[in-house]
Homo-oligomer: A and B are copies of this chain.
Amino acid sequence: MPNQRFDVLGLGNAIVDVIAPVDDDFLAKAQLRKGAMQLVDEAQALALYDAMGATMIVSGGSAANTIAGLASFGAKGAFVGKVRADEAGNAFAHDIKAAGVHFSTAPALDGPATARCLVLVTPDGQRTMNTFLGACQNLTIEDIDADMVASSQILYLEGYLWDPPAAKKAFVEAARIAHGAGRQVALTLSDVFCVDRHQQEFLRLIRDGIVDILFANESELHALYQTSDFNAAVDALRQDKILAAITRSEKGAVVVKGLETYEVGAAPIENLVDTTGAGDLFAAGFLTAYTRAQPLERCARLGALAASEIIQHFGARPEVELARLAEQSDYLRAF
């Protein structure tokens, strides 16, 4: 096994979030499904942007958020994702590097613009996402540095990578390299409609042993196993013999490993602002503790703590140093 350079290497769509508060009427008029991520083309993205209010622009991307969160905890993270060399792409690269993450994927010099996600946040804190994939469609196997994959304890993949066809191949190849080097592979299911689009293939990844650790929220898990019963879904996870961390919003999280189950309550919050990134940051906290070989219950608690920070402000990158937050947290004490 090569020397370990990174705790976690994330592979995902490199996206800039364009965020605006909207009311429920706005979603109804634009015929958008609240809480979901839908893919849009450039024309749809422009039309929606025109209709949105003044925005705040911050770096996003599901796996990228996770790795930035992990770095904020003091873990060593690297990220692979494709931007174009435009203003948004430069901002993405700046922000992820400024977060302390290793990022060296070459930007596309032409082709579609850096990906945007138009995030509409309703007063209840729910986010409805509309993603123009742009340059993410140009992520290919060529962008995978085999040495980097082999020298990372965990390879973390987002389900959204299954949307751009070339990225899907890069995903599978990266997982192959990781396992070849004796590493573990984690997958986040990303979004319930993403699971709907790729349900059979995601199940195959789990059952073929391409994925060792699964992150999902409750609805994504239900979509994966095509059930509306949480206990049935958990039983299915046990049968598939995968380590799974399932987030349940204000109900906290459940970790399933073989016959073992660990449940933790949500970390307390004062003010729900924007749920964008809750799952991404849960994974950040979980993997930080996991790569430090801490007990699974503590992994889940560190995840829940990171999620509680992110949902109290706009954007999906932490605004405080998570390592310090963890030191000071009553919620973590004794775990």
- A residues bordering B, Cβ < 8 Å? 20-21, 49-50, 52-59, 68, 86-88, 91, 94-96, 98-99, 315, 317, 319
Contact = CB atoms under 8 A, between A and B. Distances in A.
Interface residue SS majority, chain A: mixed
Given A21-B319, A49-B94, A94-B49, A54 B88 contact: no
Which residue among A53, A54, A55, A57 has the maximum number of chain B CB atoms within 10 Å of its CB? A54
Copies assembled:
2
A88 B91 CA distance: 11
Contacts of A86: 87
Closest 10 CB pairs between A and B? A54-B95, A87-B87, A57-B57, A53-B98, A54-B98, A56-B58, A54-B99, A54-B317, A56-B56, A87-B88
A60 to B, nearest CB: 11
A319 B314 CA distance: 11
Given A21-B319, A319-B21, A68 B91 contact: no
A272 to B, nearest CB: 15
Contacts of A49: 94
A54 B315 CA distance: 12
Contacts of A52: 98
Contacts of A317: 54
Contacts of A319: 21
Given A21-B319, A319-B21, A55 B94 contact: yes
A97 to B, nearest CB: 9
A46 to B, nearest CB: 10
Nearest to A50: B94
Contacts of A87: 86-88
A315 B58 CA distance: 13
A303 to B, nearest CB: 21
Contacts of A57: 56-58, 91
A17 to B, nearest CB: 10
Contacts of A58: 54-57
A86 B20 CA distance: 21
Nearest to A52: B98
A91 to B, nearest CB: 7
B94 A56 contact: no
Contact of A95 (B21, B55, B68, B98): B55
B99 A55 contact: no
B21 A53 contact: no
A309 B91 CA distance: 28
A161 to B, nearest CB: 23
Contacts of A50: 94
A65 to B, nearest CB: 11
A53 B99 contact: yes
Nearest to A56: B58
A244 to B, nearest CB: 30
Contacts of A54: 58-59, 68, 94-96, 98-99, 317
A294 B20 CA distance: 33
Given A54-B58, A55-B58, 12 more contacts: A20-B98, A21-B319, A49-B94, A52-B98, A53-B98, A54-B59, A54-B95, A55-B91, A55-B98, A56-B57, A56-B315, A87-B88
